[in-house]
Amino acid sequence: MVTEHFEDGYTDEGIESLLGSDPGEAQAPTDSSDWAQRYMRAHRGMTRACERHEEMAQNEHARIDAWLAKANAPLLTKIERLEGLLRSFADHEAVLSGGKRKKFSTPFGYTQLRVPSPSLVVDDEAKALEYLSLRDDYENYKIETFALNKVAVKKLMLGDGEVVDGCHIEKPARDTMTITHVFDEEVAEDER
């Protein structure tokens, strides 16, 4: 076992002798200011040791994160390029199928094109609530905490085409593509 040397001259063994073998019982009386000073000094030394350990761990995390970023950078660039090629192929397949084919498979995985739904963006909640308060069905557009019911407002704007002050709909620029890999272990399990 490595002996830890704490500030103020204490070691693991010194701390153990100060504390005693029973965690519920200190070895020395606690009514002496001399012993209180020893306890405080040991406490301070161990607290500083914990802080040093934390700093060392953070430095190691930073070093490992830097290594990981450097090691993965060229791979991530290639992955991005491969995704672009897969995207081109998926778009080509969708065009050939008249937009019906949104998924294609290979023995190594599949891609799937999906059109994400538009999202509601609330620019000014107070202004939106004020606007909606003029409607007869105002209760549908607020939650009991007087916050905006975004689901109902989105439905109003998309379904009825109403323009709500303080809100706008953000439509995605294009469909998204997900790539799901099939690994050898999964193929082996599927074949059983």
Residue 92's pLDDT is: 84
Confidence of residue 8 (pLDDT cuts 50, 70, 90): low
DSSP readout, 106-165? ETTEEEEEE-PPPEEEES-HHHHHHHHTTSTTGGGGB-TTS-B-HHHHHHIIIII----T
Residue-wise pLDDT for 113-126, tens only, equals: 877 778 888 888 88
Residue 1's pLDDT is: 45
63 pLDDT exceeds 90? yes
Question: What is the arithmetic mean of pLDDT over 2-23?
Answer: 60
Residue 146's pLDDT is: 61
pTM: 0.49
Residue-wise pLDDT for 75-98, tens only, equals: 999 999 998 888 888 888 888 887
Question: What's the rounded Cα separation, in Å, for the pair 111 and 60?
Answer: 38
Residue 73's pLDDT is: 96
Token pair for 189:
């399990």
Residue 191's pLDDT is: 47
